[in-house]
Amino acid sequence: MSAIPVIDFQKYGLHIEKAESVPREDLKELGDQMCQALKNIGFCYLKNHGVPDAQLKQVLEYSKQFFSQPLKEKEKCAKPDEGYDGWIGLEKENYKPVQSDLENQKI
């Protein structure tokens, strides 16, 4: 089993407020690291990202509140057919592998 990748934003200077001063090569390296982590594992830990703990706790609390609501309430926030923003309802997505997906499986 692979370890969950840890991506340290401090290395790239992104823990500071003026992230636009970070060299493009560093941003490319960071992007490559994140793509690899998400492609191979599905998620990663972010370290030294600069988001205050209080804000993270608040987002987690909002998430708990949202998902504890009845289905009818969550459906009011459903993602439109086109676009990426919004809640995705139950059984709205379905992965149907194609032959090339099956051939690339590592078993």
As given in the structure block, the two tokens for residue 30 are 């960071």
| pLDDT tens-place string over residues 38-85 | 998 888 999 988 888 999 999 999 999 999 999 999 888 887 777 667
Instruction: Give the mean model confidence (pLDDT) for residues 80-99.
Output: 70
Per domain, the residue ranges of the chain are 1-50, 53-107
For the chain, give the percent of residues with pLDDT over 70.
78
Residue 31 to residue 44: CA distance in whole angstroms = 13
DSSP string computed for the chain? -PPPPEEEGGGGTTTSS-GGGS-HHHHHHHHHHHHHHHHHTS--EEES----HHHHHHHHHHHHHHHTS-HHHHHTTBPPSSSS-SB--TT-------HHHHHT---
Report the largest interatomic distance among the alpha carbons of the chain, rounded to a whole angstrom.
Answer: 46
Q: 4-8, 68-72, 101-105: which range is least confident on average?
A: 101-105
Instruction: Give the mean model confidence (pLDDT) for residues 4-13.
Output: 86
Q: Check whether 107 has a pLDDT greater than 60.
A: no
As given in the structure block, the two tokens for residue 84 are 């990426």
As given in the structure block, the two tokens for residue 106 are 């590592």
Assessment of whether the complete model's pTM goes beyond 0.75 = no
